Amino acid sequence: MTDDMENGLKIACVGEAMVELSLDGSGASLGFAGDSLNTAVYLRRMLGKEHQVAFVSKVGVDVLSNRLAAFVEAEGVSVSRLERHETRLPGLYAISTDDAGERSFLYWRENSAARLLFQGNMGLDFSVLDGFDVVYLSAISLAILPQEVRDGLFSWIARFRVAGGRFVFDSNWRPRLWESVEEARRVVERAWRLSDIALPSVDDEMALFDDPDEQAVLKRLRSWHAGDGALKRGSEGPVAIWPQDVDPPAFEPAENVVDTTAAGDSFNAGFLGRYLTDGNLNGAMLAGHELASKVVGCRGAIIPRALT
C-alpha cells in the first residue's frame, strides 16, 4: 500500500457478486453484478486514487469466479478480501427489461459461495473486515447469511463504530431472500439503528414496513436514529433523512431511461464519493442523482467507464 493510500479512506463494500445474463431479442450477454459490487465499482470511479475501495465477498475457484475476480480488479476495486471456496460457485441471475426500463429477474443463488461469508472452519470470523474506515452493505448482504452470522456481524459493527468506523446501509428489499416479512423487518430495523450513513429507497421502505407515504418512512427512520443520508425517490430526486438549514438542489429527471437495474446502487456510490470526502449533504445528493441518471440511460448494471 502506498503512502497516498495510507492517507486515504479504506472502504469495504460487502455482499454477493453474481454472474449476470442480460437477455434481449437476440440472445444473452454475460457480465457480473450484485448490489454491493455495483456500488463498489461506481464508488471507485468517483474517488481519487488515494482512497481504496475493496469488494468483500466469497466466490469459487472455477472459471466464472476467476473471470469475476479479474473484472473486479480491472475496475480498480481491491480483491484482497475476496475469499475463495473450493467447491461452491457464484450465484447466477438472468435479467430482462421492458420498454420502460423496468426489470424482471430469474435467480439461481441458493448455494452460492457468498452465503458462507464470515464462516470459517473454527466458527465465525470477521477479520476480513479489519482495517477499514467504512463498511457498506445492504439488506441483500444480510438476507443471504444465517441469523447466527447476522448477529455476529451486528456485534462486530457495534464495536467497529465505537472504534471510529462508519457503517453505511441500504435496505434493498428482495422478498424472496427472506423467510418472512417479520424476520426482514427485525433485521433491517437493527441495521438502521446502527447506521452512520443511511441510504434507503422510498419504495423498498414502504413495501417492507407498510408505511403509507414518504413522510411516514422518514418519521420511522428518525425514530430509530438512522444515520445522516438520503431517502431515494427515483426521478423526483432524494430528500435528506434529517432536516437541513439550507434548501436542497433541484434534481432533474433522467432524460432517457433504458435500464433501472443499478439506479440505487449507483446513487449510493455517487453520494458516498462526495459525502465521505467533504461531508456536503446537498452536494452528495446531487452527485448521486446525476450518476444514477447516467446509469439508467444504458443497459446493464455497470456501464462503460467513459460514460460516468
Cell numbers 480498480: residue: 76
Cα–Cα distance, 153 to 148 (Å, whole number): 9
pLDDT at residue 297 tops 50: yes
Q: So what's the pLDDT on residue 172?
A: 93
Mean pLDDT of 31-54: 96
Catalytic residue, chosen from 62, 245, 265, 278, is 265
What DSSP assignment string belongs to 274-299? HHHHH--HHHHHHHHHHHHHHHTTSS
Within 13 Å of residue 290, how many CA atoms lie on the same side as its CB? 16
Q: Is the pLDDT of residue 21 over 90?
A: no
Task: Give the CA angle between residues 224, 275, 163 to the nearest 5°.
Answer: 60
pLDDT digits (tens, 9 = 90+) for 87-121: 999 999 888 877 776 767 788 988 999 999 999 88
* pLDDT 10s digits, 128-150: 999 999 999 999 999 999 999 99
| Euclidean distance between CA atoms 5 and 248, whole angstroms | 33
Among the ranges given (187-196, 212-221, 256-265), the one the predictor scored with the smallest mean pLDDT: 256-265
Residue-wise pLDDT tens digits, 239-273 = 999 999 889 999 999 988 988 889 999 999 999 99
- Verify whether residue 151 is a known catalytic residue: no
Share of the chain above pLDDT 70, in %: 97
Reply yes or no on whether the pLDDT at 195 is more than 60: yes
Any idea which fold 3-16+37-57+123-307 has? UDP-N-acetylmuramoyl-L-alanine:D-glutamate ligase (3.40.1190)
Residue 274 · residue 234 · CB < 8 Å: no
Q: Is 233 exposed, middle or buried (0-12, 13-18, 19+ CB in 10 A)?
A: middle
The Cβ of residue 241 has, within 10 Å, a number of other Cβ atoms equal to 22
Dihedrals phi, psi of 228, to nearest 5 degrees: -60, 150
pLDDT at 95: 81
66 backbone dihedrals φ, ψ, rounded to 5° = -65, -40
Residue 263's pLDDT is 95
pLDDT of the residue at 2: 35
State the pLDDT at residue 101. 62
Question: Does 5 score more than 60 pLDDT?
Answer: no
Q: What's the one-letter identity of residue 259?
A: D
